[in-house]
Amino acid sequence: MINFAPSQEYRAAVLTTSSLRFIVALKQGALKSDFNAYNNQPLTMSSYHNLFGTTVIPSNNGVGLKKSVDSKHVIFLSRGQFYALTVLSENDQIWFSKHELSAIIKSIIHDSTCEKSKFNVGTFTSESKSTWKMARSALESNNSELMHLIDSALFVVSLDHEAFDEATDGNKIQFVTHGTSKIDKKGFQLGTCVNRYYDKINLVVTKNATAACIYPASIIDGTTVLRFISDIYTDSVLRLARMINGKNYTLWTEINTVPINCEIAKPNYVHLKFQLTNEICNGLHLAESRLADIINQHEYVSKKIDMGKRCIRERMKLPTDSFVQICIQITYYALYGKCPSTFEPVSTRRFRDARTEPICIQNDTMLDLCQAFISQTTDTEKWKLLLEAVKKHKEMADNASMGLGFERHLSALRSAFIQRKTLNKLHHDLPKIDDSSIPPFIFNPSLEALYKPELIAANCGNPALDYFGITPSIPSGFGFGYIIKDDYITIVGSSQWRQTGRFLDTLERVFLNLKQVWKSIIMNKSTRDEELQKYVRSIPMSMMTSNNSTRIPSFVSNDSPTSRADDYILGGYDYFDVEQLNVRSDLASRVQSRAISRASSQVNLGKSPSFKNVNNAHTEKPIAVGRLLSLQNDL
């Protein structure tokens, strides 16, 4: 038996080398462009340059972005300690093979075990931006070179020293996102929550080699992260084939690795040891205590719902993303009796330097559907309202992707007024922004709900991943991330002091209920088919035959229930086929009546010319009708 289960260090090495290949391909312009999946329109690639060598810089007014274009090194985090390793040569060759890098990572893990640290600088990145700004300033006074190494690193790899229970996936999400919180007898943090750096893109590899990726959404576009993860996953799988047939497959064949040669001195890792004052140590203790509170206050619950693209898009003929978003709205209304303020991010990368445009899910159509769902409304009316809500959501998403959304425009107007003094100084040739009064519309209190949504629900769009999650935007809110696959949907819900598990259980029932509504409206012909078939078969065959009768019409024979004739009489009618149903019903009635009449008649009328057409009625070519109710493709 061959076991391909990798160790932690080997998995981290493979992901790191694949990531470096992606980075070099990006630098060389060899990365294939992204295209819109529906119209093949090219998408902007500028946002990829914010993925690597960038970091969040906290400020009093928010966050800034710091870039290091010529970065050549990676930061490894193990037990909260930082290790820097140069991984690219001057001409962007990869210094290490995955086997060499695996040995280095193993050494880093061992070193962090031997020399433990009580204070972990990465914890500061979980603090509020104003607190982190002051702490960062204090850190840089004695550790400026070390902070520069972290800021300029291509990315961070977190090597966790704990593993989740593989028997159940219940705690997998917590392990790979924020880590664990465990306090020893002396009050020091021993969990993996201190083994993160939230200001940079961060690959996480647990002790049992499960991998994840976390990133600062304030500076990095989620769609580029998904492409990055998809590519390095594909590359790692291709390179695994080498273990089978010896060939070195890769997505980027032109990317070279420095050969293993004893005459070439390759870089070694550097342990970053900070000089921490008592003030900084106290700040780290408070930051860790706050982080542990946040971890204990939040929960992540995952759910697998057995309805995927094949069911929703191919059978029900509905757009899967719209269907999921609508189900989330119905679930919230069923539990709380109101429609919450909800945002869904929509990619706008068809425009240069663009990222996403959030759309508001709420509208009158959605409210009508939610109210109908929990009332005694008929299935016909529910289905009608569902189609209207789907159409409305699809229109909103399409408009946002084409730059016709309003949220970014409104935010720009608000920002321009807030920074009016700066803009007036910078642009002397433009009319001055009037600051005599506050614009009533753009600062209307009723619009504040747009910027503090109670729900955020986002579609991952990458079936290569197992789970995808996002955090709530406000303490009392929910965050839902979902991945739509062919046969099922995985959803991760997160909240603080809310019933996340109950919400997802209710959501699953909403999925199934809407499926039943669809069956009752669109697929109820199956029930009518079965009833009609039972009725036809209940007719004694002796009544269908007489010594003077012609052959039994094939479409009323019960010898073969799956014959083409059964298909003709039982299939193909729905709400748009009423006239065809009447024709077939009349045809079956006439044949049945003729057979019954013959069975009791003493006169053979079968050869009478006047009955010739009736006798041959069953041999006429059936009228072609549609088998399924086809919804509009643009829904």
Supply the angle between the helices 320-336 and 379-401 in degrees, to the nearest 10: 120
Dist CA 240 CA 220 (whole Å): 29
CA 222, chain centre distance (Å)? 10
Fold entry, domain 8-298: Chloramphenicol Acetyltransferase (3.30.559)
Q: What is the dihedral of CA 479, 308, 326, 218, to 10 degrees?
A: 30
| 536: confidence class by pLDDT, cuts 50, 70, 90 | low
From the list 348, 394, 366, the residue with the least C-alpha distance to 455 is 366
Residues carrying CATH 3.30.559.10, the chain? 313-417+449-521
The pLDDT tens digits of the residues spanning 366-383 come to 999 999 988 888 999 999
Phi, psi of 505 (to 5 degrees): -65, -45
| pLDDT (tens digit per residue) in 52-101 | 999 999 887 778 899 999 999 999 999 999 999 999 999 999 999 999 99
The one-character DSSP state at 360 is E
Q: Are 99 and 264 in contact (CB under 8 A)?
A: no
Contact 81, 112 (CB under 8 A): yes
pLDDT at 291 over 90: yes
**Residue 321 scores a pLDDT above 70:** yes
H helices within 28-169, ranges in order?
Answer: 98-114, 129-152
Cα(269)–Cα(15) distance, integer angstroms: 18
pLDDT at residue 551 greater than cutoff 60 = no
Strand order in the sheet with 455-459: 298-305, 489-496, 478-484, 455-459, 342-347, 356-360
Residue 248 has pLDDT above 50, yes or no: yes
- pLDDT score recorded for residue 203: 96
* Higher per-residue pLDDT: 357 or 551: 357
Higher pLDDT, 240 or 97: 97
Task: Identify the pLDDT of residue 629.
Answer: 30
- What is the average pLDDT value for the chain, to the nearest integer? 80
pLDDT of residue 622: 36
According to CATH, where is 3.30.559.70 located in the chain?
Answer: 8-298
Tokens 């006169």 belong to 603
Q: Which fold has domain 313-417+449-521?
A: Chloramphenicol Acetyltransferase (3.30.559)
Residue 241's pLDDT is 63
Is residue 207 predicted with pLDDT exceeding 90?
A: yes
Question: Is the pTM here over 0.85, yes or no?
Answer: no
User: What pLDDT, on the 0 to 100 scale, is given for residue 438?
Assistant: 82
Q: Residue 283: is its pLDDT beyond 90?
A: yes
